[in-house]
Structure 1
Amino acid sequence: MASRIAQLRNWLEKRAPTQDCPIYFQHIPKTAGVSVRTWLHSYYGDRLCPAWLADDLVRLAPELLRDYKAFAGHFHSYLEPYLGRNLVTVTVLREPVARTRSHWHHVRRAPEHPHHLRVTGQTFTDFVMDDLNRVMIEDYQARYLMKLPLSLEVVAHRHTRTDATLSALSEALEQTSLPLCKPELLEGATLALKRMAAIGVTERLHDFLVRVAKVANIPLPAAKAVPYTNATEQNHAGELSPESLRRLRDLTRIDQELYEAAI
């Protein structure tokens, strides 16, 4: 698959910049996406949609959504059909162990997170070994890329009507993708990446921003234009037992394959 992604990148680099379609940064949580959004906002300003979560997006009036030139948020692969507009989609992937560790940190320090009360007392090993946390771990990046045959509007109506919590829709979207069989997930995530206008990795964020700028026909970012925002405290990263590391590797095999294809 790595060679297919490389061929795709070569083709993408030769594409003419787009001026007609809005940019969509498909933000997979804990992949340095806040830094990407900060950079996009520095150029687009109020032309960047303020919604970050799907729950916020569906509360915005359709006439407002039509005016935005850029989107950056946790909308999975459902934004384009929801808007009824063609989008130029880009994304960033992260090494799965590091991404999972960052997710664990985030849940522990975010009281509003639906899993906070359970996770707040867990070590990183506890987090990985707890089956209830699979929704936040198991091939998480591939599941964010996968496009299921569902309507964001229909799912939003169902969950915002029955649950008034801030992240009810976001949680539902993550839970819906968990039962997917692995071959289907790999195929769907690979197809999603092939359709991307730019793919990057967290460790080479500036290179990714340069590619996005070229695709969007906007000014190139300076070498240190975007500091890492919302970064995990590495000195409190936590260690995994050998058993939990094996489990984590097994749960994120597809994510690892996608990441290695992108670097």
Structure 2
Amino acid sequence: MMKHKLPPIYFLHIPKTAGSSLGQLILCSYPQGSQLNCSLSQLLQMSREEISQFKCFAGHWGTGLFSLLDKEISSITMLRDPFERTVSNCLFIKRIVVKKFASNPLALDEVEDLKLKSDISELLKCTNIREMLNLMPSMKEQQSCYLGCDIDLNEYLGVSQCSLDTLDKSKEIFIENIIAQQLSSGLLDINEIFNKAKQRLDAMEVVGIMEQFNDSAHLICNSLGISTPKNLPRENVSPENLALGNLTYRKSGTIPDDVIKQIDELTVCDREIYEYGKKLFNKQLQTEKRKFFWFKKMFKKSERF
């Protein structure tokens, strides 16, 4: 049952952090027509006035949404262990590449070869995988960049002439492209990004942790003033992740030590941001538990009278 009027909220969805499941939980809590969940290209087809009419936002837009709103808005995000997220993203990109070239007769041999590759070290040698990783810098501090790169999307509004119904997918704009441009221009360095990412997390309504999804969902529902559903949504779970069961990619024994070291070296800042986020999450969780036990204690006292 709803405790109060639902507040305006932005779920800042970092890829491969169980965000599809969490986004579904948040979006379904808001009335029809008040939620906005779309690609960045679709978002940029709208005017500032149209965007401001919505109350619940969820998307891969990084900090860019804040630049399009004329009012302050609370935000929520979900973090994931950087090593696990990076491996998951590599496997996700593999599926994208296979799907992209599946109908191309000139690439059938390469696609069939790619389908057989499940070893991360082998995937990283594939040309198409490496090209996709360069387009979407998933190996390079993506969680830090999503949170710490201040993006102004106003200059990109109306950038495509295509309508929403006929949007050319080859002309899609991704927040990763914009972040990459800022990084290559030298406008930001990683230390500045890291500090701004911590500030962004400090200001969050809730910082969730994927590895503690149920507790994260409970905290988010409490912050919105809604009941936590008995059956939490499980959206877009990869077959590789399902196959792991209770294991992690790091402990699965399928990834060579040199590849583990390579990924760890590429996600140093993300590791620090993740650990920082976990401290905030644990603090929020402990506060919530103290509230619960206090109410429980007061309820027992009231029963005596």
CA contact (8 A) 1:49 1:71 kept: yes
| % same residue | 22
Identify which of structures 1 and 2 has the higher relative contact order when contacts are C-alpha pairs closer than 8 Å and 6+ apart. 1
2:200 matched to 1:188?
Answer: no
**What runs of 5+ residues in structure 2 fail to find an aligned partner?**
279-305
Alpha-carbon distance in structure 1 between the residues aligned to 2:201 and 2:101: 29
Match of 2:216, SS?
helix
More displaced stretch, 109-118 vs 24-33: 109-118
Alpha-carbon distance in structure 2 between the residues aligned to 1:114 and 1:177: 28
Q: How does 1:64-213 map to 2 (within 5 A)?
A: 64-110=50-96, 121=114, 123-128=119-124, 132=131, 133=133, 135-148=137-150, 150-157=151-158, 160=160, 164=168, 165-176=170-181, 178-179=183-184, 180-213=188-221
Alpha-carbon distance in structure 1 between the residues aligned to 2:190 and 2:46: 35
1:55-91, Cα deviation, whole Å (9 max, x unpaired): 1211234443232221111110111221222111110
Closer, same or farther in 2 for the Cα pair 1:48/1:215, shift >3 Å?
A: same
1:73-131, Cα deviation, whole Å (9 max, x unpaired): 11101112212221111100000111112111222223599999999936422455676
1:39-69, Cα deviation, whole Å (9 max, x unpaired): 1132114244343321121123444323222
CA contact (8 A) 2:198 2:276 kept: no
Q: Which residue pairs with 1:9 in the alignment?
A: none
How far apart are 1:202 and its partner, in Å? 0.5
Instruction: Give the superposed CA RMSD.
Output: 3.3
Q: Report how many residues are paired.
A: 243
CA contact (8 A) 2:46 2:158 kept: no
Match of 1:77, SS?
helix
Q: Larger radius of gyration, structure 1 or 2?
A: 2
Q: Which residue pairs with 2:270 in the alignment?
A: 255
Closer, same or farther in 2 for the Cα pair 1:229/1:166, shift >3 Å?
A: farther
CA contact (8 A) 1:47 1:70 kept: no
Q: Could you tell me which amino acid in structure 2 is paired with residue 219 of structure 1? A: I
Closer, same or farther in 2 for the Cα pair 1:173/1:19, shift >3 Å?
A: farther
2:226 matched to 1:240?
Answer: no
CA contact (8 A) 1:107 1:115 kept: no
1:202-224, Cα deviation, whole Å (9 max, x unpaired): 111222222222332x31213x4
